[in-house]
Amino acid sequence: MRVTPDELASALLKRRMLLKDSLPGVIRNLEAEEDNLSPRLDRMKKSFDEANEKVAKFKAERDHFQTSAGTLIPDVKRIRKKLNESGGMINLDPKWKKMMLLEQIEEIESKIQTSALDHKSERKLLEKRRTLISENDKWIRDRKDSNPEMAEYLEKNKEMSKLFKKADKAHSQMIGAVSKAQPLYEKLTIASSEIREIRSQLDRAKELLAQSDKAIEYWEKRIENGFGDLGPGFRDLLKRQKNVDTGGRSSFANSSRKLKQKKSRGEEE
């Protein structure tokens, strides 16, 4: 059954009128969704920013303490060398000498500062450093009273240990803050995507509503005055049909013919 231009135009006009009637409600619903989600999104952003600030704060503290402790290692080694040369280290525990705690701590510090480590590798190094610091602290406690001439050496050692412990604490706090920030980021990403989609639909609905009167006017004029050339903005809609009715090719036939010609040229090449 062939649909006449009048029937098609009437259907399009009806659709446009229904759309115009329904769009205000659609827009109100979308605006309500946006109004509901926007404050939640703002709160999520604020929470995520605060969580990120904590991560940055603890990271800065960790890096500061770690760097400060690292700068003491050369001093401690220098004083130790001086004491060695003067005989002040003669009563050192042979086990402590063999373990070379400072050298091990320095090596770990170098790896942390210069290597691209994943969380697992970094955690292992920090745990190892923590153990070495504990051993070093024990050695300091055992010798503080019996070796008064080593006061500076022991004090530097103690300060270094304290700074490394602060660095470890800040690192643990940073990891905890990262763990709390991750789910906030995931929720924020989902909510941001939702509100982008809502706003996109809202813009489209408003655009359609703004076009509705013009579209309705267009099809009303077509139904009243016909489908030929009615002047600017109203081109002849039946031009192709008239061409077919008088023996010309349809647009589909023309497209098929051009496609075949293009394919034929391709095969010849």
Residue 211 sits in the same domain as residue 253: no
Does any domain span residue 230? no
Tally of structural domains, the chain: 2
Would 25 be classed as within a structural domain? yes
**What local confidence, expressed as pLDDT, does residue 19 receive?**
84
Angstrom distance (rounded) from CA 189 to CA 52 = 15
- Residue 79 in contact with residue 156, Cβ under 8 Å? yes
Q: What is the pLDDT along the chain (269 residues), one digit of tens a residue?
A: 677 877 887 888 888 888 888 889 999 999 999 999 999 999 999 999 999 999 999 999 999 998 898 888 888 888 878 777 766 654 554 454 445 666 676 677 777 666 666 777 777 777 877 787 777 777 666 665 555 557 777 788 888 888 988 988 998 898 889 888 999 999 999 999 999 999 999 999 999 888 888 888 887 777 878 777 777 776 766 766 665 555 555 554 445 445 555 555 544 44
Q: Would residue 74 count as lying in a domain?
A: yes
Asked if 27 and 160 sit in the same domain, the reply is yes
- Looking at the domain assignment, is residue 194 inside a domain? yes
Closest CA to 192 of 41, 40, 39: 41
How many beta carbons lie within 10 A of that of residue 216, not counting itself?
17
What does pTM read for this prediction? 0.56
Domain check: are 43 and 170 in the same one? yes
101 residue type, one letter: L
Q: Are 219 and 6 in contact (CB under 8 A)?
A: no
Is the same domain home to 109 and 149? yes
User: Do residues 133 and 242 share a domain?
Assistant: no
Please indicate, yes or no, whether residues 212 and 248 belong to a single structural domain of this protein.
Answer: no
Question: Are 254 and 185 in a shared domain?
Answer: no
Burial code (b: 16+ CB inside 10 Å, e: under 16) for 11-39 equals ebbeebeebbeebeebbeebeebbeebee
Q: Are residues 182 and 264 in the same domain?
A: no
Same domain, residue pair 262 and 191: no
Give the domain range for residue 254: 238-269
- What is residue 252's predicted lDDT score, i.e. its pLDDT? 45
220 class by beta-carbon count within 10 Å (0-12 exposed, 13-18 middle, 19+ buried):
middle
pLDDT at 263: 54
pLDDT at 218: 81
Residue 175 resides in a domain: yes
The answer to whether the CB of 158 falls within 8 A of the CB of 143 is no
Is residue 37 a part of any domain in this protein? Answer: yes
pLDDT of 247 reads 54
Q: What span, in angstroms and rounded, lies between the C-alpha atoms of 146 and 31?
A: 78
Asked if residue 232 is part of any domain, the answer here is no
Across the strands, what pairs with 231? Answer: 234
> What would the two tokens of residue 45 be?
């952003």
185 shares its domain with 268: no
Question: Do residues 215 and 16 make contact, with C-beta atoms less than 8 angstroms apart?
Answer: yes
Residues 145 and 244 occupy one common structural domain:
no
Determine the Cα–Cα distance for residues 227 and 244; give it in Å rounded to an integer. Answer: 16
The partner residues of 234 in beta bridges, in order of sequence, read: 231
CB burial of residue 215 (10 Å; 0-12, 13-18, 19+): middle
- CA 144, CA 140: separation in Å to the nearest integer? 6
Centroid of chain to Cα 131: 36
